[in-house]
């Protein structure tokens, strides 16, 4: 029996770690953060990102995991700690649904690119009937090559050179149909979306059993693909010549473009804190589960994968910069999309291009699919607690989810719908930072730092260190600074695209409505003379188990008694030590204690 219990504990911990890794090893970690870091100074951002992961990432994620473990509540129930804030949980659900739709639509395009990478010739490397007359002019026109690439002072028309790349024209004109009138829906992308929906069904149709194996696969394969791509990039031409310049070893680009608030926000986006996913994952863990070590393991792995991604991205742009003899950072700042235009463009100069395209799009597709599984498992767990029929029929639930995701995202696969989703997702990410600030205020500051530390001591068996407590206090103020600066930046840039404009207004409305509902609740409570009830802590706050709740109440008394005994012991020890020092006979010069006086 003890062996079975230990096996169950290890299995539960394995599932917990893989679920947390599925939350953190998404596209933001695998692709977007490395691209941002390289375009603004790679070596500087490697150092800054590592520090942010340690100083802010670990404490914030640990805070969410401990709250979920201590209360056993999901992202909706946990906010019932204060009745006036009970509606905050639904903001988590809005973020999760929006992100789920965005990732599924994006994943459909990535799966399509993965499938056509097996073709010969690859469609996005040729000029087809969707192309314009200037397609691939950089290769066929010697004058353009000399004036736009080789020359230091380029001609004015060179600013639009990127739009002539065949990779760009395939994505914009054939897939998105930017030049076509009316509604455009690429049928091959719809087939890829159906394949993705089938994989989604297979990962959930057996409930927790199939989820366990799916999580293991989707957390190992992307990291393995990243490592393989990193090793393969080391053997390409131009690495030795361009690596130092691309890595920004002199910190020139980093000093010019570094923004602390943007770096902190980008790191928190990779961890997906403030999204409610950590609460759902931690609520399944048992009493005295190794929450802190799990958090550290997950954050350190995420940090290592991010650093590996930055180094791999630096190597990816070196062969292209070497072939055309241009600045690697300038290459990274081309005004084209990362996944569908830059990746195939840079890999075209690789040896065995098709193989590396398959590797790249495989780990990109799985990274998008990984967070999908994490969000869906969180939503299923939340609904299962409220409706037993969902828990009894996991296969039917998985089938309904897969069909719903397919039908809901197919209309978004045509024209410019994806760009609206990208802009909406980029601004909605800021909502997660707003919610992290609220979590820090409600569960740490308002609840009481010492009381929260005592809860952690009870659940973990070890008191949180003073450094962790300090990080909990400081991180709240740092995140307020990040939220204000990022809100201002989004507001300034809102007129760049239509999607940015609507997403900015949606973000402001979302935050304002959340705060306004809280104020209305407090005003109504003041009118009904029950304001204290709205602001007071929920009477059922704490462990769900009655035994653990009683143990927690006794733990406070025991901790006080132990603290008193500890202080008394040290006080008595100090008194005895002073007495011993005062009883020591001081030897005078010329006097011997061992000779008897006559």
* 96 Cβ neighbours under 8 A, 6+ residues apart: 275, 276, 277, 375, 378, 379
Among 174, 177, 19, 198, residue whose Cα is nearest residue 107:
198
Rg (CA), the chain: 29
As a residue count, the chain comes to: 598
Please answer whether residues 291 and 62 qualify as being in contact, where contact means their C-beta atoms are separated by less than 8 angstroms.
yes
Interval 554-574: pLDDT, tens: 776 555 555 556 556 667 777
493: which DSSP letter?
A: T
Residue 116 burial by Cβ neighbours in a 10 Å radius (0-12, 13-18, 19+) = middle
* 458 Cβ neighbours under 8 A, 6+ residues apart: 70, 551, 552, 555
| Class of domain 16-521 (CATH, top level) | mainly alpha
pLDDT higher than 60, residue 598? no
Kindly state the helix (H) or strand (E) to which residue 46 belongs, with its residue range: helix 42-52
Q: Is the dihedral of CA 178, 411, 422, 204 positive or negative?
A: negative
Residue 222 burial by Cβ neighbours in a 10 Å radius (0-12, 13-18, 19+) = buried
pLDDT higher than 80, residue 442? yes
Q: What is residue 395's predicted lDDT score, i.e. its pLDDT?
A: 82
Q: Average of pLDDT values for 226-231?
A: 92
Interval 459-477: pLDDT, tens: 887 888 888 899 999 998 9
Q: Distance between the two ends of the chain, CA-based, in angstroms?
A: 79
Q: Average of pLDDT values for 37-65?
A: 92
Q: What is the pTM of this model?
A: 0.87
User: Taking the domains of the chain in order of start, what are their residue ranges?
Assistant: 16-521, 545-581
Residue 419 burial by Cβ neighbours in a 10 Å radius (0-12, 13-18, 19+) = middle
How far is Cα 155 from Cα 486, in angstroms, rounded to an integer? 35
Please answer whether residues 36 and 267 qualify as being in contact, where contact means their C-beta atoms are separated by less than 8 angstroms.
no
Interval 261-279: pLDDT, tens: 999 999 999 999 988 898 8
Q: What is residue 27's predicted lDDT score, i.e. its pLDDT?
A: 87
Q: What is residue 587's predicted lDDT score, i.e. its pLDDT?
A: 54
Q: What is residue 39's predicted lDDT score, i.e. its pLDDT?
A: 87
Q: How many CB atoms lie within 10 A of CB 519?
A: 10
Give the model's confidence band at 144: pLDDT under 50 very low, under 70 low, under 90 confident, else very high.
low
Give the model's confidence band at 281: pLDDT under 50 very low, under 70 low, under 90 confident, else very high.
confident
42-56, 351-365, 461-475: the lowest-pLDDT one: 461-475
């Amino acid at each position: 029996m003890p062996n079975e219990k230990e096996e169950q504990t290890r299995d539960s911990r394995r599932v917990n770690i893989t679920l947390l890794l599925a939350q953190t090893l998404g596209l933001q970690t695998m692709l977007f953060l490395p691209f941002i870091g390289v375009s603004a100074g790679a070596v500087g951002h490697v150092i800054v990102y590592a520090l942010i992961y340690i100083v802010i990432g670990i404490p914030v994620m640990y805070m969410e995991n401990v709250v979920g473990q201590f209360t056993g509540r999901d992202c909706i129930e946990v906010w019932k700690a204060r009745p006036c804030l009970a509606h905050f949980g639904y903001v988590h659900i809005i973020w999760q649904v929006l992100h789920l739709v965005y990732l599924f639509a994006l994943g459909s395009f990535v799966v399509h690119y993965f499938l056509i990478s097996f073709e010969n010739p690859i469609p996005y490397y040729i000029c087809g009937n969707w192309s314009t007359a200037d397609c691939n002019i950089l290769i066929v026109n010697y004058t353009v090559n000399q004036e736009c690439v080789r020359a230091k002072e380029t001609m004015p028309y060179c600013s639009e050179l990127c739009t002539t790349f065949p990779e760009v024209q395939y994505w914009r004109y054939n897939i998105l149909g930017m030049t076509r009138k009316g509604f455009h829906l690429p049928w091959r992308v719809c087939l890829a979306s159906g394949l993705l929906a089938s994989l989604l069904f297979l990962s959930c149709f057996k409930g927790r059993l199939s989820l366990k194996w799916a999580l293991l696969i989707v957390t190992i394969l992307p990291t393995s693909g990243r490592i393989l791509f990193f090793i393969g990039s080391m053997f390409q031409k131009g690495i030795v010549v361009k690596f130092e310049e691309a890595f920004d070893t002199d910190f020139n680009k980093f000093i010019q473009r570094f923004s602390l608030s943007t770096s902190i926000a980008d790191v928190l986006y990779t961890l997906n804190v403030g999204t409610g996913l950590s609460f759902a994952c931690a609520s399944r863990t048992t009493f005295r589960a190794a929450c802190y070590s799990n958090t550290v393991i997950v954050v350190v792995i995420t940090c290592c994968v991010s650093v590996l991604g930055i180094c791999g991205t630096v190597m990816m742009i070196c062969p292209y910069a070497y072939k055309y003899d241009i600045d690697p950072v300038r290459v990274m700042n081309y005004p084209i999309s990362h996944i569908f235009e830059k990746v195939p463009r840079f890999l075209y100069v690789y040896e065995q291009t098709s193989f590396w395209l398959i590797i790249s799009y495989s780990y990109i597709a799985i990274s998008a699919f990984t967070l999908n599984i994490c969000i869906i498992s969180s939503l299923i767990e939340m609904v299962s607690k409220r409706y037993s029929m969902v828990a009894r029929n996991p296969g039917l639930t998985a089938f309904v989810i897969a069909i719903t995701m397919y039908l809901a995202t197919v209309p978004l696969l045509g024209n410019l719908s994806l760009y609206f989703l990208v802009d909406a997702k980029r601004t909605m990410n800021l909502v997660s930072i707003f919610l992290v600030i609220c979590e820090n205020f409600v569960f740490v500051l308002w609840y009481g730092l010492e009381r929260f530390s005592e809860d952690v001591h009870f659940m973990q068996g070890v008191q949180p260190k003073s450094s962790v407590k300090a990080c909990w206090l400081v991180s709240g103020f740092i995140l307020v600074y990040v939220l204000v600066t990022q809100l201002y930046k989004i507001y300034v840039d809102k007129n760049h695209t239509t999607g940015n404009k609507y997403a900015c207004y949606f973000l402001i409305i979302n935050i304002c409505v959340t705060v306004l509902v809280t104020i209305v609740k407090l005003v109504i409570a003041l009118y009904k003379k029950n304001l204290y009830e709205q602001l007071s802590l929920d009477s059922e706050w704490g462990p769900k188990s009655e035994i653990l709740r009683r143990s927690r109440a006794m733990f406070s008394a025991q901790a006080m008694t132990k603290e008193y005994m500890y202080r008394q012991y040290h006080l008595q020890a100090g008194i005895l030590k002073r007495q011993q020092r005062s009883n020591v006979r001081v030897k005078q010069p010329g006097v011997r204690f061992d000779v008897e006086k006559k």
